[in-house]
Amino acid sequence: MTTPAPPDLLYSETEDDLRAAVRSLLTDHGGPTAALAEAERARPHDPGLWRSLATGMGTAGLLVPERLGGQGATAREAAVVLEELGRSVAAVPYLTSAVLAVRTLLGCDTARPEVAGPLAALADGGRVGALAVPLPTAPGGAPPVTVRGGAGLSGEITSVAGAAGADVLLVPADSGLYAVDTTAPGVAVTPVTPLDLTRPLARVTLTGATAILLAEPARARDAVADALLTGAGLLASEQLGLAEWCLAETVRYTGGRHQFGRPVGSFQAVKHRLAALWLDVVSARATARNAADALATGSPDTAVAVAVAQAHCGEVAVRAAQECVQLHGGIGMTWEHPAHLYLKRAKSDQIALGTPGRHREALARLVNLPGPVG
Amino acid sequence: MDADALRRRVADLLAAHDPATTDRLDFLRARFDAGLAWIHFPEGLGGLGAPRALQQVVDQALEAAGAPDNAPRRIGIGLGMAAPTLLRHGTDAQRRRFLRPLWTGEEVWCQLFSEPGAGSDLAALATRATRDGDGDGKGAGWIVDGQKVWTSQAHLARWGILLARTDPDLPKHRGITYFVCDMTDPGVDVRPLRQITGEAEFNEVFLTGVRIPDTHRLGEVGEGWQVARTTLMNERVAIGGARVPRESGMIRLVADTWRRRPELRTHDLHQRLLRLWVDAEAARLTAERLGRRLALGHPGPEGSGMKLAFARLNQEISGLEVELLAEDGLGYDDWTLTRPELVDFTGRDAGYRYLRAKGNSIEGGTSEVLLNIIAERVLGLPPEPRTDKDAAWKDLPR
Ligand SMILES: Cc1cc2nc3c(=O)[nH]c(=O)nc-3n(C[C@H](O)[C@H](O)[C@H](O)COP(=O)(O)OP(=O)(O)OC[C@H]3O[C@@H](n4cnc5c(N)ncnc54)[C@H](O)[C@@H]3O)c2cc1C
């Protein structure tokens, strides 16, 4: 087993600046309180916040080269944005549009106007895209193709994240990858009530929908595989941010809440749990940074780095959110307190883009630790 | 001092002392004198005041040239704890006397801190140091009486870092003084203490009328606790700085067995192995992050977590290994009482690893105590109520 060139696991100054800017935008916008209010509105995402974040700050185009209308940054910067979005459980289609849809388009022939056009529109945040695959799809295992080409596209795809609220869907079909306008005839996007109130899910039904071919089947498969790998790797950063908020908020709360004449946080049974959670968060940061750095540098280690980050961070985020609810006591069970938003996001993030178990199975192949035969 | 300048210094050292023909100790002494022992130490004390991160440049170049290393006498207590404490709190004379033979391994150090009645609550220690002589004449010094316990490598040690009580009327943290104890003094009696593994790596140490000159005091009288904090902090951070390859240490041994012996595989073990593999990789990456931050001069709080993480990992992995080996796991390699120089996790069988790893969550601060430290100092959670802080040590219940 060889170790690849040492990754850069720290944050650069540019990344720190980007974080500060995104955090201040999200704080001004109201943080988790605003996310809670937003979750009660019947709209897929908060358009004002999305405009400021995506277009105003240019974060939608971080992964897109400048010549294609983006910011020419890397997965490392996008990861920092996702950390902050996880910390605030903001309802914006960053992961689904700026990461998954953008990466899918980048995997197609960007010299063609059919690809370059939508890519530039997603990169400046003017339009929102979504990759039409079920959210639980893990990288490596391509989703079963349920859409057929021909005179228009027909078929159904379930649990598509970010489809509600998207302008354009990138649809993998038997005859290649297609772009479908959500307002076109034959396209029905039916919202599903999601466990995670801050990331809309929908069922996409196509009945002879007009579509533009973006890539032939082989290239389409690679483009989708790469997008899923990037999405899974960067999702770890969202999970990290989420876990960090849960830890910080629980430390703050238990430090101030008094029972039995003492701050609850001075009891060792509570302290030890939070200290253990801190260690989880610290190690989640190392694995998430490793995945982001591998994606940014195109490291040959990327598949392992992503699988490790996903196997680890998914569970850390869920544990953090569960501890957050538990150690807040009764308040943690209320609708008014935002803790539930984090638990719901954490649990559905754990399933998104491959469960930890699936990523461990992938690792078994990648690092040659095969299971028993039979 | 950059990497190229260091490589030139290494080349000069090798030119003047060809490792093929130079005696091992002579070479190590020359390396120390060239400032290439621990480059972040000051000039004249084995270093060059250079960034710690560049040490690996030196180590790699010397290894490539086949130069001798200071292993196996790389005993953690001297290098990891005594040395940084001497550097920070020692006098010039002490640093010049002690550091070179410490680094070359000619003189082994041990840590005379724990006592039967003072482990986690180290500041409760009872070993007494009383003034000997008039206090300003030539022979001024101290007489030490007490008992230490679990003292690793005391049987090999030339020197011990020692905490003793010099004023029982003060609260427990304030009446302690820090000394360097000469382990060859006739009042020092080292007795092997057999361990769970069968070997005796640690000892009981009885101190009876041990004479310590005042020149072997580290720091001011009564300020031993502050000095000890340097030692303890380094004890816990000593890990972490090193870059280790993926799948090294205990996880490698299990993974190798797994690959070599498909007949041992079960679905349950597979799930657990993969989880531990991921945990080991996460811990490795966390240590890598810590190492980078240390190199840049931002120590970061990750250090206090690493020991905790490694203790847990070592215990879980070694437990899995014994189980994986099934029939072979029922055997043990050797119960005879031995006196090992080092803790060698890889040189013995799985049963040994399983038993020895139990000490990882006790030695150098228990996991419970480390969790308290993280909760209070890193997370800022309120301290436990304490009743013993301001009372005189002599009035504390024991
Ligand atoms: C292999 C090995 C090598 C060692 N080498 C050395 C050495 O070279 N030099 C040396 O000086 N010492 C050495 N030690 C001693 C070691 O530092 C102590 O064993 C350790 O600090 C714990 O102290 P104790 O054994 O007295 O346990 P105790 O302090 O009596 O603890 C008993 C139990 O109570 C728990 N506990 C104690 N206080 C608290 C608290 N405040 N909150 C929650 N739980 C608590 C502990 O975690 C532990 O589980 C060594 C120990 C081992 C196992």
Q: What is the pLDDT of residues B139-162, one digit of tens each?
A: 689 999 999 999 999 999 999 999
Q: Is the Cβ pair A371, B265 closer than 8 Å?
A: yes
ipTM value, please give it. Answer: 0.94
User: What are the chain A neighbours of B280 within 8 Å (beta carbons)?
Assistant: none
Q: Is the pLDDT of residue B3 over 60?
A: yes
Is the Cβ–Cβ distance between A166 and A201 less than 8 Å? no
Q: Is the pLDDT of residue B302 over 80?
A: no
DSSP code, position B213:
E
- Rounded to a whole number of angstroms, the distance from the CA of A223 to the nearest CA of chain B is 27
Which has the closest alpha carbon to B171: B388, B383, B384, B387?
B388
In the structure encoding, which two tokens stand for residue B221, read together? 């009288």
Q: Is the pLDDT of residue B344 over 90?
A: no
Phi, psi of A180 (to 5 degrees): -130, 130
Which of 218-247 (B) contact A at CB < 8 A?
A: 243, 245-247
- Determine the Cα–Cα distance for residues B47 and B42; give it in Å rounded to an integer: 5
What pLDDT sits at residue A1? Answer: 47
Q: Largest Cα–Cα distance of chain B, in whole Å? A: 74
Q: Using a 6 Å cutoff on CB, does residue B119 contact ligand 1?
A: yes
What pLDDT sits at residue B118? Answer: 97
Q: What tens-digit pLDDT sequence spans chain A (374 residues)? A: 454 568 999 999 999 999 999 999 999 999 999 999 998 888 999 999 999 999 999 999 999 999 999 999 999 999 999 999 999 999 999 999 999 999 999 999 999 999 999 999 999 999 999 999 999 999 987 777 899 998 899 999 999 999 999 999 999 999 999 999 999 999 999 999 999 999 999 999 999 999 999 999 999 999 999 999 999 999 999 999 999 999 999 999 999 999 999 999 999 999 999 999 999 999 999 999 999 999 999 999 999 999 999 999 999 999 999 999 999 999 999 999 999 999 999 999 999 999 999 999 999 999 999 999 87
In the structure encoding, which two tokens stand for residue B147, read together? 């008992």
Closest CB to A275 among B258, B275, B371: B371
The percentage of chain B sitting over the pLDDT mark of 70, rounded to a whole number, equals 95
Known catalytic residue at B106: no
What pLDDT sits at residue B340? Answer: 87
What pLDDT sits at residue B295? Answer: 73
- Ligand 1 centroid to B372 CA: how many Å? 14
Q: Is the pLDDT of residue B135 over 60?
A: no
Lowest mean pLDDT among A172-176, B84-88, B308-312, B385-389: B385-389
Which of 190-249 (A) contact B at CB < 8 A?
A: 247
CA torsion B242-B246-B250-B256 (nearest 10°) is -150
Is the Cβ–Cβ distance between A346 and A242 less than 8 Å? yes
Burial class (CB in 10 A: 0-12, 13-18, 19+), A330: exposed
Alpha helices in chain B (DSSP H): 3-16, 24-33, 55-64, 76, 83-89, 92-104, 224-237, 250-260, 267-295, 302-325, 350-357, 367-373
Which of 300-329 (A) contact B at CB < 8 A?
A: 308, 311-312
Per-residue b or e along B160-184, where b marks 16 or more CB atoms closer than 10 Å to that residue's CB: bbbbbbbbeebbbbbbbbbbbbbbe
In the structure encoding, which two tokens stand for residue B302, read together? 């990750």
Strand partners, B202: B193
What pLDDT sits at residue A231? Answer: 98
What pLDDT sits at residue B138? Answer: 54
Measured from the Cα of B366, ligand 1's closest atom is 47
- Ligand 1 centroid to B340 CA: how many Å? 21
Ligand 1 atom 41 nearest Cα: B369
Which has the closest alpha carbon to A176: A112, A222, A129?
A222
End-to-end CA distance of chain A: 26
Amino acid symbol at A10: L
Strand partners, A204: A157, A189
Is the Cβ–Cβ distance between B218 and B178 less than 8 Å? yes
Q: Is the pLDDT of residue B239 over 80?
A: no
Which has the closest alpha carbon to A94: A58, A65, A67?
A58
Strands B217-218 and B176-182, by their bridges, are antiparallel
Q: How far is CA A173 from CA A206, A232, A283, B1, B56, in A?
A: 11, 22, 39, 59, 52
Q: Is the pLDDT of residue B297 over 80?
A: no
3-state secondary structure of B2: coil
Residue to probe by mutation, ligand 1, list B75, B114, B121, B376, most atoms within 8 Å of CB: B114
Q: pLDDT band for position B236 (50/70/90)?
A: low
Pairs from B191-197 (Cβ < 8 Å, separation ≥ 24): B192/B155, B192/B337, B192/B339, B193/B149, B193/B150, B194/B337, B195/B359, B196/B355, B196/B356, B196/B358, B196/B359, B197/B352, B197/B355, B197/B356
DSSP code, position B171:
B
- pLDDT tens digit sequence for A290-318: 999 999 999 999 999 999 999 999 999 99
Please compute the mean of the pLDDT values over residues B117-127 and round it to a whole number. Answer: 96
DSSP code, position A183:
T
Please identify which residue in the block is written with the tokens 């022992």: B37
What pLDDT sits at residue B76? Answer: 84
**Predicted TM-score (pTM) of this structure:** 0.94
- pLDDT tens digit sequence for A191-241: 999 999 999 999 999 999 999 999 999 999 999 999 999 999 999 999 999
